[in-house]
Amino acid sequence: MEAMVMIGFKTKGLVEPIASVLIAILLAYGSLTGGVQAASDSRNTDSSAPEKSWLKQVPALIAQGEIKKALEKLAEDSQATDADWHNLMGFAYRKQTPPDFGRSEFHYLEALKIKPDHRGALEYYGELMLMKNDLAGAQEMAKRLKKACFFGCEELRDLQKAIDSFKPR
């Protein structure tokens, strides 16, 4: 307790202005990005709503290797103006055997037209570029992700890890 009093005494007059500046920065950042919670590109949508039920179902199907079912589910719920939908389409086409690079790239680009800072699409498109031996393209996606992830994010870390371990084929 004595240490806290000493710190408060020594910094008297500095704590409030610094705190005010930090709060102002966080509020300004939040208003620019739609909220400080930047955990997901779907942060403003309800994935449990019937029209977006695919948002949880499709990643689970892909994780289980059920790519055909994932693509069928996405086709049933076609949402051509939704960046998340295009991102998952691109991801499913990339994960099928053999990968369909053309369709995957088309959908990642559509997602990025709709939402240029879509973190998932930037990461996955960068990974697709690595699969196509395009290191410079992947690095460009990482550069865009750095701008989209002001305080860092899982997508940036994952893409950077893939870039760091990239070996041309």
Question: Is the domain of 57 the same as that of 86?
Answer: yes
pLDDT (tens digit, 9 = 90+) per residue, 10-32? Answer: 444 554 555 444 444 444 444 34
Question: Is the domain of 25 the same as that of 75?
Answer: no
Domain that holds residue 132: 46-164
What is the Cα–Cα distance from 73 to 59, expressed in whole angstroms?
11
pLDDT (tens digit, 9 = 90+) per residue, 55-99? Answer: 889 999 999 999 999 999 999 988 889 999 999 999 999 999 999
Question: Is the domain of 21 the same as that of 52?
Answer: no
Question: Is the domain of 3 the same as that of 54?
Answer: no
Q: Which of 149, 130, 150 is nearest to 139 (CA)?
A: 130
